[in-house]
Amino acid sequence: MPNFQPVQTVRAYQRIVEQIEDALADGSLVPGQRLPSERELVSQFAVSRSTVREALRVLESNGVVRSRPGDPNGPEILPFSQAPLRKQMTRLARVDELTLSELIAFRMIMDGAAIQLASRLRTDEQLVEVEQTLVAMRAAIDVDFAAFSEADVAFHEAVARVSRNSLLQTCNEVVRGVVLSLISDKIAHATNSRALMLESLRHHTEVVEAIRAGNGHAAARLTRQNLYDYYATYVPAPERDPLRALIDD
């Protein structure tokens, strides 16, 4: 008896999307390359132009290609971007499918791991790079909070690079962006921000010390603690349990 599979109607534009995504996955299509023009695709896929266009719209909304009117080279294959990933995550966060607590827990995990890896894998030059972002943070305190925030991001990005794990790096970046967009308005109203910045700088300095010492576990623990201290006030009290579970070992 043959093992029949449930059939599902696959629409024409979907098969076009699949073909293009497959070509991208197996490397026969690489970012920077151009797709043939819509009218050319019409004859290659043997479908109407509406169908081709629906496929292109889907690819475009997924950040795979970009069409520009009048461009004689045709639609462009874009390099991978985390923008669509962030869009989806933001969407989920907006509808409470993801709570702030979940996002922050995730940040604590990601950032902690990145720093743990960094403290083991860093070269001396990379340590210097990280220390320089600390210097930039200190300088930014005297400018304004936005500058400090930017320098803070630079610190975390430098550490993430050192961790040599691009997946970790991307996830980190995305979730950091989402968290910031969720609470940026609240942070802007924070009083006594200078004290906050000094405190944050002190925390970061401790982390760098642990990185220098190669003490990955301590560095990770400090990082998670810092994130908790920094964000806990924005999280409803009953949702703080999971966050604490990540810091007390």
Residue 55's CB is within 10 A of a number of other CB atoms, namely 25
Distance (Å, whole) CA 68 – CA 159: 37
- Number of residues engaging DNA in binding (CB under 7 A): 26
40 is an interface residue for DNA by CB under 7 A: yes
How would you write 187-209 as a 3-class SS string? HHCCCCHHHHHHHHHHHHHHHHH
Cβ proximity to DNA: between 33 and 67 the closer is: 67
* Partner from DNA, its own copies, none binding residue 71, C-beta < 5-8 Å depending on class: DNA
* Partner from its own copies, DNA, none binding residue 120, C-beta < 5-8 Å depending on class: its own copies
13 is an interface residue for DNA by CB under 7 A: yes
Shortest Å distance, C-beta 77 to DNA: 12
Rg (CA), the chain: 23
Distance (Å, whole) CA 157 – CA 126: 12
Shortest Å distance, C-beta 78 to DNA: 14
Cβ proximity to DNA: between 54 and 111 the closer is: 54
DSSP assignment string, 143-163? T-HHHHHHHHHHHHHHHHHHT
Shortest Å distance, C-beta 67 to DNA: 4
* Partner from its own copies, DNA, none binding residue 61, C-beta < 5-8 Å depending on class: its own copies
- Contact (Cβ atoms closer than 8 angstroms) between residue 117 and residue 220: no
Question: For binding to DNA (CB under 7 A), which residues are involved?
Answer: 11-13, 35, 37-40, 46-51, 53-54, 56, 67-75
